[in-house]
Amino acid sequence: IKWVRIDFSWKNIEKAKGVYQWKKYDDLITEAHNKGYILLPILGYTPTWGTNGGQSSPPTEEKDWTDFISAVVNRYSRAPYNIKYYQIWNEPTKKAGFWKGSNEQFIDSIYIPAAKIIKKHGGKVVFGGWPISNSMSELVQILKISKAYTYTDIISFHYRSETGYREIYDNFIKNGPVAGIWQTEIGYTDKKYFLLTKYSKILSWVIDHDWNEKDKYKLFWYPF
């Protein structure tokens, strides 16, 4: 276990427009590095000053969002922090409750603008994590909006068996352009032997599907 997801919440880092609270996140990354962990920041959640709704609502001005992304990625992609991968939002659907805009709004105003900035700084883009409340077929269709998959390095989803990988693999991994699949939440149960049986089935699947890079497939345990 070397990877840890952490919310780098817009609403907490930039509580007032243009004023960034870095210390907590500087310390988190430093502590994680000292303990041998690798962080996956989750960038999202709109501050009250930037929207007419709540934290799951689209920002009033796209530039406010891209200014935040630029500030975070510029700071943390460089030494001494050296963050490589960034996840844009989490469970971005109305059913899951973490995104109240349309799919098109998310892709065109949130995802692609942030992805371009991350890539400009040499980072890797994680789409996700796609929630269990929505189908994998819907995920495929959303990734095709404005060819969002072409800005994507990793597609992540939550709480799926090995069968959940197939549609994503066939559409985006087998012949590119996406590099890998991560399941960034799995667990949230106290069932005996759950992790052992689930992990072994998924491990068998990834071994059979070109696991030729260490970052191509990952599982992130989500504690109960």
Residues 43-68: pLDDT tens digits? 999 999 999 999 999 999 999 999 99
Q: pLDDT averaged over the chain?
A: 94
The region that residue 147 occupies, defined by phi over 0 for left and psi between -120 and 50 for alpha, beta otherwise, is left
Residue bearing tokens 């069932």: 191
Are 46 and 100 in contact by the 8 Å Cβ rule? The answer is no
d(CA 191, CA 153): 33
d(CA 110, CA 122): 19
Give the domains, in start order, of the chain with CATH numbers: 3-222 (3.20.20.80)
159-185 pLDDT per residue, tens: 888 888 999 999 999 999 999 999 999
73-112 pLDDT per residue, tens: 999 999 999 999 999 999 999 999 999 999 999 999 999 9
The structure's pTM equals 0.94
CA angle 218, 221, 223 (to 5 degrees): 170
Helix (H, G, I), strand (E, B) or coil at 117: helix
Give Dmax over CA atoms of the chain in angstroms: 49
Q: Which helix (H) or strand (E) holds 62?
A: helix 62-76
- Greater confidence (201 vs 20) lies with 20
